[in-house]
């Protein structure tokens, strides 16, 4: 679509335009500990406002308050100049505030058209007017420059396309303040570029966009204004043009950051060898060799092949053909215990349904794959906490206080628990399989 003049001058002083959202002194406690402290934030139409901060800084909590998921414990929120008390999701939506969370929320079995129009299907003589559903959905997408066939099912879309459909749905429902929580977190560079283009289109249409991302280059490229949170408080808020990368990182972390990673060349020993791996049409004759001390990235469009590779290497499924070796020793396919006993650890990309047990605590999840835990000895509370503590330290897992359910951790901290759980395990874990299956 043709670029329009932004509704406000971006990056400059905001003398003329009215803030669409004005947050003053907002605080939020969970179980007595402060997740947000005295937060101020102004959002303007026609501006991309990036929220930055380390894992657990309070970004998601803040946008969940704006979109009515959580209620603030103190402070005030004005939307379009009117004070709001007790924002709920429904109320926020009526005010034009919409949040596209990181996890996609489309009905996967339905078409794109149905998803865009869900909750507002046009009818004729008492039945759904399907042609109008498709036409209106098409208009909603093309109005944002999105080129997706509305007859496709949501399940057939790439993650980036699913995000676009969610954005189109929110804009069609009247979203004028759009919050995107890590919209490019798992995307290829090209797909992330498509999302950024869409975000710029929204901005040029006068939408106020809140953009959460951990990618500093991306944020510097797309944002008009940046607000940095640290430990629940705003440490800096300024036009993007006034910040440089080093300053931004310093604000996020609270000190200068120097990389102390020693350069160590990989050894000349093959650690992991996969040869001629084939499975249906998802994987055909895949071969890769990873030396000790080496990181190998396997690239490809998001989809079936990655999850299939995970299932095959972890022993969850048996391939049609192929060979797997760890440290030169063959590993049989199709058996999770054999894969684990070889020393191979597969960390799922689907931490919510395959990785963590949401009803268990942080420490229990961290120790779950540990042989000793499953033999019940660690169930004695003090012992569990004592063993989990060094893992929390080495993976930098931060909770507001104590040992909360793992689901109460911030997204990034959940990811650290998932890594810590697998990377710290016994090399020969006999009771792993039980632990894994009962956990899933």
Ligand X SMILES: Nc1ncnc2c1ncn2[C@@H]1O[C@H](COP(=O)(O)OP(=O)(O)OP(=O)(O)O)[C@@H](O)[C@H]1O
| Sites of contact with Mg ion (CB under 5 A) | 60, 411
The token pair at 248 is 């931004």
Length of the chain: 440
Could you tell which of ligand X, Mg ion, none binds residue 61, using a CB distance below 5 to 8 A set by kind? ligand X
Alpha helices by DSSP H, listed for 41-88, are: 59-66
Q: 433: which 2 tokens?
A: 């399989």
Give the residue with the Cβ less far from ligand X, 176 or 230: 230
* Sign of the Cα pseudo-torsion (343, 394, 382, 30, in order): negative
Residue 309 has, within 13 A of its CA and on its CB side, a CA count of 20
Within a 10 A sphere around the Cβ of 276, how many other Cβ atoms? 12
Residue 350: alpha-carbon gap to chain centroid: 11
* Position with the least CB separation from ligand X: 412
Nearer of residues 60 and 314 to Mg ion, judged by Cβ: 60
**Chain mean position to CA 11:** 27
Point out the residue whose Cβ comes nearest to Mg ion.
Answer: 60
- Residue 421 and residue 392: Cα distance in Å, rounded? 10
Pick the closest to residue 328 from 269, 371, 379 (CA basis). Answer: 269
Spatial CA neighbour of 324 closest among 314, 316, 436: 314
130 binds, among Mg ion, ligand X, none (CB under 5 to 8 A by kind): none
Residue 422 site contact among Mg ion, ligand X, none (CB < 5 to 8 Å, cut-off depends on kind): none
In the complex, minimum distance from the CB of residue 92 to ligand X, in angstroms, rounded to a whole number: 17
Among 15, 135, 33, 110, smallest CA distance to 401 is for 33
Supply the minimum distance, in Å, between the C-beta of residue 59 and ligand X.
4
3-state secondary structure (DSSP) of residue 82? strand
Q: Among residues 21 and 340, whose Cβ is nearest to ligand X? A: 21
Residue 404 binding partner per list Mg ion, ligand X, none, with a CB distance cut-off of 5 to 8 Å that depends on partner kind: ligand X
Q: Which does 122 bind (CB under 5 to 8 A by kind): ligand X, Mg ion, none?
A: none
Long-range contacts of 131-136 (CB under 8 A, 24+ apart): 136/172
| 3-class SS letters over 401-430 | CCCCEHHHCCHHHHHHHHHHHHHCCCCCCC
| 307 backbone dihedrals φ, ψ, rounded to 5° | -70, -30
For ligand X, give the closer residue by CB, 140 or 192: 192
C-beta of 188 vs 403, nearer to ligand X:
403
**In the bound complex, what is the minimum distance in angstroms from residue 202's beta carbon to ligand X?**
22
Which of ligand X, Mg ion, none binds 408 (CB below 5-8 Å, type-dependent)? Answer: ligand X
Question: What does 277 bind: ligand X, Mg ion, none (CB cut-off 5 to 8 Å by kind)?
Answer: none
If the CB atoms of residues 60 and 162 are measured against Mg ion, the closer one turns out to be 60
Q: Which of 271, 411 has the CB closer to Mg ion?
A: 411
Closer residue to ligand X, CB minimum distance, 157 or 417: 417
Site residues (vs ligand X, CB under 6 A): 30-31, 35, 53, 55-61, 399-400, 404, 408-413
| Paired residues of 127 in beta bridges | 124
Q: 135 near 124, Cβ under 8 Å? A: no
Please tell me the number of Cα atoms within 13 Å of 184 on its side-chain side.
Answer: 22
CA torsion 266→270→272→277, rounded to 10°? 120
Q: Do 1 and 201 meet the contact criterion of CB atoms below 8 Å apart?
A: yes
Residue 140 beta carbon to ligand X: minimum distance, rounded to whole angstroms: 29
Closest approach of ligand X to the CB of residue 162, in Å:
20
- Residue with smaller CB distance to Mg ion, 206 or 411: 411
Is the C-alpha dihedral spanning 377, 381, 384, 387 positive or negative? negative
Whole-number minimum distance, CB 231 to ligand X, in Å? 9
The listed partner (ligand X, Mg ion, none) that binds 57, CB under 5 to 8 Å by sort, is ligand X
55: partner contacted, choices Mg ion, ligand X, none (Cβ within 5-8 A by kind): ligand X
342 binds, among ligand X, Mg ion, none (CB under 5 to 8 A by kind): none
Q: How far is the CB of 259 from Mg ion (least distance, A)?
A: 24
Q: Which is nearer to ligand X, 296 or 389 (CB)?
A: 389
Shortest reach from residue 54's CB to ligand X, in Å: 7
Shortest reach from residue 310's CB to ligand X, in Å: 23
Output the smallest distance, CB 267 to Mg ion, in A. Answer: 37
């Amino acid at each position: 679509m043709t670029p329009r003049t932004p509704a406000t001058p971006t990056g400059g002083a905001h003398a003329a335009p009215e803030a669409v959202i004005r947050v003053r002194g907002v605080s939020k406690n969970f179980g007595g500990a402060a997740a947000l402290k005295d937060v101020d934030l102004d959002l303007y139409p026609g501006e991309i406002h990036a929220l930055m901060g380390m894992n657990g800084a309070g970004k998601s909590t803040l946008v969940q308050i704006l979109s009515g998921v959580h209620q603030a414990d103190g402070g005030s929120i004005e939307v379009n100049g009117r004070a709001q008390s007790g924002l709920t999701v429904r109320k926020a939506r009526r005010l034009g505030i919409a949040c596209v969370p990181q996890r996609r929320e489309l009905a996967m079995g339905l078409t794109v058209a149905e998803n865009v129009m869900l909750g507002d299907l046009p009818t004729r003589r008492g039945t759904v007017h399907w042609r109008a559903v498709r036409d209106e959905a098409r208009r909603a997408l093309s109005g944002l420059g999105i080129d997706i066939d509305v007859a496709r099912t949501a399940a057939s879309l790439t993650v980036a396309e699913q995000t676009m459909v969610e954005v189109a749905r929110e804009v069609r429902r009247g979203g004028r303040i759009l919050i995107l929580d890590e919209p490019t977190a798992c995307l290829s560079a090209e797909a992330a570029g498509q999302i950024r283009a869409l975000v710029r289109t929204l901005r040029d249409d006068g939408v106020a966009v809140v953009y959460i991302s951990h990618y500093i280059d991306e944020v510097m490229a797309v944002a008009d204004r940046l607000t940095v949170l640290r430990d629940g408080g705003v440490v800096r808020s300024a036009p993007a043009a006034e910040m440089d990368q080093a300053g931004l990182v310093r604000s996020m972390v609270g000190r200068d950051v120097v990389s102390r990673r020693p350069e160590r060349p990989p050894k000349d020993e093959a650690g992991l060898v996969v040869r001629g791996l084939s499975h249906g049409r998802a994987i055909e004759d895949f071969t890769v060799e990873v030396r000790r001390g080496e990181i190998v990235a396997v690239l490809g469009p998001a989809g079936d092949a990655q999850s299939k590779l995970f299932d095959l290497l972890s022993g969850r499924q048996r391939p049609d053909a192929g060979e797997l070796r760890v440290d030169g020793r063959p590993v049989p396919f199709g058996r999770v215990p054999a894969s684990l006993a070889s020393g191979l650890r597969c960390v799922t990309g689907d931490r919510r349904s395959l990785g963590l047990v949401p009803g268990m605590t942080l420490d229990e999840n961290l120790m779950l794959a540990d042989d000793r835990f499953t033999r019940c000895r660690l169930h004695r509370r003090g012992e569990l906490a004592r063993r989990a503590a060094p893992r929390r330290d080495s993976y930098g897992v931060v909770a507001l206080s104590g040992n909360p359910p793992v689901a109460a951790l911030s997204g990034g901290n959940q990811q650290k628990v998932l890594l810590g759980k697998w990377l710290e395990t016994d090399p020969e874990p006999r009771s792993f399989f039980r632990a894994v299956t009962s956990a899933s």
